[in-house]
Amino acid sequence: MVFVYPGSFDPITNGHMDIIFRAVRICDKLIVAVGSNESKKPAFSTEERIELIRCALEGREDVVVTSFSGLLADFVKRVGAKTVIKGLRAMSDFEYELQMAHLNKNLEPDMETLFMMTNVNYSYLSSSAVKEIAKNGGKIDGLVPECIKDRIIEKLTCK
Ligand code: PNS
């Protein structure tokens, strides 16, 4: 079974990585799909976000990283998948994700959205928090994959 894990990944965090590693164990192929959330202006370009994810996943041949534009439901159908997986950190995520799941179901009745509870160690973590910490000179160790940490800091502090 092919799962699609969509998100802004601006940038990818260890919370996202945890979902990826757990999701690959329950599907045959995982497609990490970088999309755009109309309500957010990304700090990293789509290409940069893909590059950071690929770098963090180096050596993992069971995960494909790509991007999509337009509707997620159309992308999922185009790649021959039926299942979208999303991480849920807290109740605050739930309302938005529930709405998305229903809208996507309405657009593509064959598509299912599965929710995986984010590892409790990362329940407080978000890409926005990582950006705010990095921009203000704080440490992002342990919040993002080690191999992309410096690139994130460099980009956000314009070094
Ligand atoms: O990491 P995010 O911000 O939760 O990711 C959101 C994303 C990109 C997965 C979501 O905004 C999305 O699916 N965008 C594509 C447009 C779409 O299909 N929207 C749902 C119907 S309104």
Q: Which atom in ligand 1 lies closest to the alpha carbon of residue 73?
A: 18
Q: Where are the domains of the chain?
A: 2-123
Gap from CA of 86 to ligand 1 centroid (Å): 11
Query: For residues 88 and 119, what is the distance between their CA atoms, to the nearest angstrom?
Result: 9
Blockwise average pLDDT, block size 10, the chain, 159 residues: 97 97 96 90 96 94 94 97 95 92 98 96 95 97 97 90
Give the pLDDT score at 118: 93
Give the pLDDT score at 60: 87
The secondary structure of 33-46 as a DSSP string is: EE---TT---SS-H
40 in active site = yes
Neighbours of 77 (CB within 10 A): 15
CB-based pocket (< 6 A), ligand 1: 6-8, 35-37, 71-73, 100, 103-104
Q: What is the pTM of this model?
A: 0.96
Give the pLDDT score at 36: 83
102 in active site = no
Give the pLDDT score at 159: 58
Give the pLDDT score at 39: 83
Nearest to 59, CA basis, from 145, 140, 143, 117? 145
**Which among 5, 52, 72, 92 is the best mutation to test ligand 1's pocket, defined by most ligand atoms within 8 Å of the CB?**
72
127 in active site = yes
Q: DSSP state, 122? A: G
Starting at the edge strand found earlier in the chain, the sheet holding 83-88 runs: 63-67, 29-34, 2-7, 83-88, 112-117
Q: DSSP state, 79? A: T
What is the CATH topology of the domain spanning 2-123?
Answer: Rossmann fold (3.40.50)
Indicate which residue's Cα is closest to atom 20 of ligand 1.
100
Q: Which atom in ligand 1 lies closest to the alpha carbon of residue 100?
A: 20
Residues in the chain: 159
